[in-house]
Chain A
């Protein structure tokens, strides 16, 4: 039995795409206006201020509970990051010395010609 052409899922998908296009077009009209920029930037500043305030409160709570703060964790992560970086450099130096290292393994001939070129 053949499935009829009417596909409710496809129609729904089409409706969603159309709605998305219309809302985005509308937003484009609004956000291109001068009077939109002021409140928008105030919102950005407010969001960042709220985030800063939340971070400060969370840090105070962490200190009170004798837990590491976000700043301390970031410090640890960054120190680990530097160690990882150093290990990678040592590894790269060792690899370059090994006969089966990166440099030895990846040595294709650099003679390829375009397939479109007459032989």
Chain B
């Protein structure tokens, strides 16, 4: 090693030290901002509330193109989560992406159920809320056909709806949607019928507070919270990282309570009995057969999804009656499918390519 190299190395080490000191100062300054900051704003695109009825809320996003595809898109959010996950911020919004690609987008979102709504069950969601929103979309757009999309349990409810009332459904888009609950192993252990008294739970508290479900998630991934905080501290100097962290943190913290009856049906019919995929589930006196789904199906699953395994969603492409069906396995986890900046580059353009010719 020459003398000049040695001086160069020392200079480089000094530069690294300067950078780390600068970041340490920034961490402390921005850490204070973080602790005192109000809620991180969410929502990138302008929308109008079309209807609101109890826990149900329907929004229409204002189109940003002069021309839109004929078939409107109705997204069903999972009843335990706020729908703004589809529209977190500019550059990180599935809705923004689809609007710019020329889709007319509607969102079925949920408001925390009131105490008098604890009796709402799957039949209300599948045979009342979703059909009511489809009717309103049809009236507003003048189009009979609708593309129905759903995320997680929103997708499960959409699948039930499409099986029972397939007629107006032009296409189906599922994000991490569980239908075969034998592959939701950790949830099944958590709600083991030998120990889990769901009747007592529902009878004693009515609507199920979010802590119950969040507790299950924490048990599945106990290190996530601590690791998340450590990553936040490490990256506190990085404004983009902190903004993204705060948006996801807000969304997770705003997990919604679920109606007691809905929760009871989820546990008994889906986790315990796996009734949907095994053809034993009935709503409104009619048996649900996912083989009755004939609309084109696109099912998106995440490679590293710790909530919904690929196998849990597999029947959507293996057992539905559609002849036009496809599965996309995307990199990332359960949430990054609908909100990750990486999805904007890779996944969402694939979704657009798939739907553009099926939406005219």
A interface, CB within 8 angstroms of B = 1-4, 6-9, 12-13, 16-17, 19-20, 22-24, 27-28, 31-34, 36-38, 40-42, 44-45, 47-48, 52, 74, 78, 81, 85, 88-89, 92, 95, 102-103, 105-106, 108-117
Contacts and interface: CB of A to CB of B under 8 A. Distances in A.
Nearest to B23: A9
Contacts of B114: 78, 81
A32 B220 CA distance: 9
Interface of A is mostly: helix
A112 B352 CA distance: 13
29 contacts: A1-B14, A4-B9, A13-B234, A16-B227, A20-B223, A20-B226, A23-B222, A23-B223, A24-B222, A24-B224, A24-B306, A27-B219, A31-B190, A31-B219, A32-B189, A41-B197, A42-B195, A44-B215, A45-B201, A85-B53, A89-B51, A106-B48, A106-B63, A106-B140, A108-B63, A109-B66, A110-B70, A112-B67, A114-B360
Contacts of B194: 37-38
Given A23-B222, A37-B194, A114 B357 contact: yes
B54 interface: yes
Contacts of B140: 103, 106
B231 A16 contact: yes
Interface of B: 8-9, 11-16, 19-20, 23, 48-54, 60, 62-63, 65-70, 102, 104, 111, 114-116, 140-143, 185-186, 189-190, 192, 194-197, 201, 204-205, 211-212, 215, 219-224, 226-227, 230-231, 234-235, 306, 353, 356-357, 360
Given A27-B220, A31-B190, A114-B360, 5 more contacts: A20-B224, A41-B196, A41-B197, A44-B215, A106-B60
Contacts, number: 158
Given A9-B23, A16-B234, A24-B222, A92 B141 contact: no
